[in-house]
Amino acid sequence: MAAVAITGARLGREIVWAGRALLRAFSQIVLSEARPTAVLLALAAAFSPPSLACGIACALAALATARAVGLEGAAEGGGAYGANALFVGLAVGHVAGLTAAALALALGLGALCAFVVAAGIAVLTRGWALPVLSVPAVALAFLLRGAAGHLQLAPGPPETMLAASVAPLGAGPTALLASLGALVFAPTWKAGLLVGAALLWHSRIGFLLAWLAGTALLVLAEALQIGRPATLVAVFNGCLTAVALGGVWFVPSRSSFALALAGALAAGLVAWGLAAPWQLLGWPLSVLPFNAASLLFLVACRARLRDEYPKSVDFLPGTPEQNLAVFETRLRRGLNPAAPHAVAVSLPFQGEWLCTQGVDGPLTHRGAWRHGFDFEIRDARGSFHRGFGREVGDHHCYGLPVIAAADGTVVKVVGDVPDNPIGTINVARNWGNLVLLWHAPGLYSLVAHLQPGSSTVREGQGVVRGQALGACGNSGRSPRPHLHFQLQGTAVVGAPTLPCAFAVAVKGDGQGGLALRNAIPAVDERWSNLAVDADSLAAFDFPLGRSWNYQLEGTGVRGWETISVEIDLLGETALASDKGRLAFRRTANELLTTTCAAAPDSFLQLVRMALPSVSMGAPGRARWRDWLPSADWRGRRPPWRDLVAPFVPNQGIEMEYRLDRQRGGLLVVEGQAVSRDPRSLPSVRTRVLFAPGEGIVQIDVATARGLRSARRGAIPVLVPSRRREETSHESTSGPVRAGAERDSVLLARGGAVETQGGPPPAPPRDRGRLFP
């Protein structure tokens, strides 16, 4: 009986695995992972029962073969194996009908498809970093045509038979729906309606792209009087191409929509251009136009000098809406730098200085030199000097250290230009005394107008960020002491400037300063580098391998969630649970969360809102700003907003955070929205209690959706103990009579497991002033 039970359980697991893998195969037809999309596509394919039966048989054969051989990703139900085989099987059923020979052919082609897909992944994905798409299905379609002749199955390519069962297409909604139905070899408006619903469920942006591309191709075909078979194939290939280019591999935007329509037109031209010769040869076009156009544009866009307009998806892709949200959040948070440099640049001085001329400054920062900065020091009285300031030494900035903005190598030092008397300039030696550093290919930094003889480095010497280079002076074109800084692309002194944004800098505001990411100083703004606090740097740490349990409660969240710290093969560190993953990274001066792929009710979403970044300044002084997308605080937005999202900027919200210390050594990070609601209250409020070395103790997040909270605790797991106790006592499961077995509670804290006889002590639940 035990063996039968084990066999039954194993069979049940195999059936569940096969069902999930099939659903993934169906969803991959439209580049999705959503199961409702897969169900709708399967229902659409059911309008042609032979195609559905052969498609399932072919997909299962491919998946089973890939899993048996141990091909990469097969154990998880790899979508590429199932989706390509599904395409082939649908074509087999449409060409051959539901016969024993057709099913045998589907099974054989499915087994072969597993190896063709694996080869495609090895060549396209690993070799050329391109998606495998449905190229294996196109290759096997040629074998299908040859086998059809030998087995005396229906003649001609599948698309010819498809078009024969469709009324004149025209350019109306029915024609578009019939073309969408042809994607699953069921060219009827009813099947197309289900395919359209599947696209709409997967992505409103994807549906809009498909509708625009399909309508444009139908109108063009009607105007050119192109026949039904070629138009049918052109439209569904164009729709797939538009979805892929416009929202999957490129971030949805005006430019990606333009690229999507161009790709759809290219797919249509391929379909129309090859229709006649392919028909003479008896070869099927299938999804060849989609693959050809998509790969063409992907390869061509790699030749661009800059990755923008449209921006490629350089992170783990999701739905078009998710891709857009991730990109906009990164952009607004300053994770896509204003200047396209791989090197983080700091301010070239110590302490707080005043920007006296910035980008497009009216004096000398014009034209090719527009991205320069001038800095001086102004005292509390508003003066740049002591006394009358007639001597260079009277000026507050004169003689102060000038430091390296980033690690690099000294390529040029000039130190023999004398200081100018106040009010005069030296145009013969315009830049005065200077130090020019190389940081990366095509990236140099220049500090100029230094004090003569103050240089502490020599040419060819390596320097590190913050190392002294010289002292502020008044040499060159400088009527009074100041420091000039610029980035440039060559080693020529005074070459044209490059755009510059300082990685993290503190803007003085009379309240201790506000740390900003990718800061661009403007005139009359006080700026300084972030003074990193050693205690804060040590406290905000998530050691690898640690784990914690959190109890969630509030609007839309309830229950327990276990969080652990892990690192992937690419070296990205993340907080992970069974509900998702939140990646983060530490820099020299901040803790920064990056990508979040987690369920809406996950603890990780609360962390992303309440702790998107932490500036490592001193508690009581550290303040910084970050940005949250609108979905975090307004709730789930209506679907129609997704349709306009690529054309209208995301209405997110700017948050300001503050780090402070409580009694007992706990650190608290409080955040609130910069904007106010109609009651003049912050529209979002957050609070995090953090125990140094122990991680997050409690999180509270208040938005328009309500209050959500999480606090660290222990999940009680009852384990019978061998000890007996004669007296009554209270356990975590309630009162226990004398003589009953004692229950112990296993507590998992920080990755360690302890045994305790009573309930776990809960951490203090302190909501503070922010959450009365």
The owner of tokens 């390296």 is 404
Q: Which residues contact 625 (CB under 8 A, 6 or more apart)?
A: 514, 515, 516, 654, 655, 656, 657, 674
**What letters, b where the CB count within 10 A reaches 16 and e where it falls short, cover 740-764?**
eeebbbebbbeeeeeeeeeebeeee
Residue 670 CA to residue 682 CA, distance in Å, equals 12
What is the DSSP code (8-state) at residue 31? T
Residue 550 CA to residue 560 CA, distance in Å, equals 6
Q: What pairs with residue 673 in β-bridges?
A: 655
Which DSSP helix (H) or strand (E) runs through 22?
helix 2-28
Looking at residue 259, what is its pLDDT? Answer: 96
Selection from 283, 270, 281, 291 nearest residue 143 by Cα: 283
Question: Is the C-alpha dihedral spanning 637, 639, 640, 643 positive or negative?
Answer: positive
The two three-digit tokens of residue 567, written as one number? 């690192």
Task: Tell me the Ramachandran region of residue 447: left when phi exceeds 0, alpha when psi lies from -120 to 50, beta otherwise.
Answer: beta
The two three-digit tokens of residue 95, written as one number? 């060409």
Residue 146 CA to residue 156 CA, distance in Å, equals 10
Q: DSSP 3-state assignment of 453? A: coil
Q: End-to-end CA distance of the chain: give it in Å, rounded.
A: 60
Selection from 596, 34, 80 nearest residue 319 by Cα: 34
Number of neighbouring beta carbons within 10 Å of residue 336: 16
The two three-digit tokens of residue 138, written as one number? 């196109």
Contact 121, 80 (CB under 8 A): yes
Looking at residue 349, what is its pLDDT? Answer: 96
Residue 195 CA to residue 258 CA, distance in Å, equals 24
Selection from 659, 690, 688, 656 nearest residue 672 by Cα: 656
Write the secondary structure of 667-696 as one string of H (helix), E (strand) and C (coil): EEEEEEECCECCCCCECCEEEEEEECCCEE
The owner of tokens 């944004």 is 501
Give CB contacts under 8 A, 24+ apart, made by 76-79: 77/17, 77/20, 77/21, 77/24, 78/21, 79/24, 79/25, 79/27, 79/28, 79/33
Contact 50, 93 (CB under 8 A): yes
Q: What is the pTM of this model?
A: 0.74
Residue 78 CA to residue 20 CA, distance in Å, equals 10
Looking at residue 450, what is its pLDDT? Answer: 96
Counting DSSP H helices and E strands in the chain, the numbers are 19, 30
Task: Tell me the Ramachandran region of residue 415: left when phi exceeds 0, alpha when psi lies from -120 to 50, beta otherwise.
Answer: alpha
**What letters, b where the CB count within 10 A reaches 16 and e where it falls short, cover 60-95?**
bbbbbbbbeeebeebeebbbbbbbbbbbbbbbbbbb
Contact 523, 367 (CB under 8 A): no
Residue 110 CA to residue 67 CA, distance in Å, equals 13
The two three-digit tokens of residue 768, written as one number? 């503070």
Residue 433 CA to residue 454 CA, distance in Å, equals 9
Residue 660 CA to residue 676 CA, distance in Å, equals 23
C-alpha distances in Å from residue 16, one per residue of 55, 62, 70: 18, 17, 19
Which DSSP helix (H) or strand (E) runs through 61?
helix 49-69
Number of neighbouring beta carbons within 10 Å of residue 435: 26
Question: Residue type for 539, please?
Answer: A
Question: Helix 228-243 to helix 173-181 angle, to the nearest 10 degrees?
Answer: 80
Contact 420, 474 (CB under 8 A): yes
Q: DSSP 3-state assignment of 273? A: helix
Structural domains present in the chain: 1-157 (1.10.3430.10), 163-303 (1.10.3430.10), 353-384+393-529 (2.70.70.10), 535-770 (no CATH)
Per DSSP, the residues of 471-528 read EB---SS-SS--EEEEEESSSSTTPPEE---EEEEEE--SSS-EEEEEE---TT-EEE
Selection from 137, 9, 28 nearest residue 79 by Cα: 28
Contact 623, 656 (CB under 8 A): yes
Strand duo 706-713 + 468-471: pairing = unpaired
Question: Residue type for 313, please?
Answer: V
Residue 71 CA to residue 78 CA, distance in Å, equals 9
Q: Which residues contact 732 (CB under 8 A, 6 or more apart)?
A: 716, 718, 743, 745, 758, 759
Mean pLDDT by 10-residue block, N- to C-terminus, for the chain (772 residues)?
65 85 91 91 93 92 90 75 91 84 89 92 87 89 68 51 47 81 87 93 94 93 82 91 94 95 95 82 78 94 86 84 84 64 89 93 88 94 90 94 96 94 91 96 95 95 96 94 95 92 88 87 93 84 88 86 86 89 86 84 91 89 85 60 81 87 87 76 86 88 86 63 38 32 27 33 39 35
Looking at residue 727, what is its pLDDT? Answer: 36
Task: Tell me the Ramachandran region of residue 406: left when phi exceeds 0, alpha when psi lies from -120 to 50, beta otherwise.
Answer: beta
Residue 198 CA to residue 29 CA, distance in Å, equals 10
Question: Residue type for 237, please?
Answer: N
Selection from 379, 55, 352 nearest residue 186 by Cα: 55
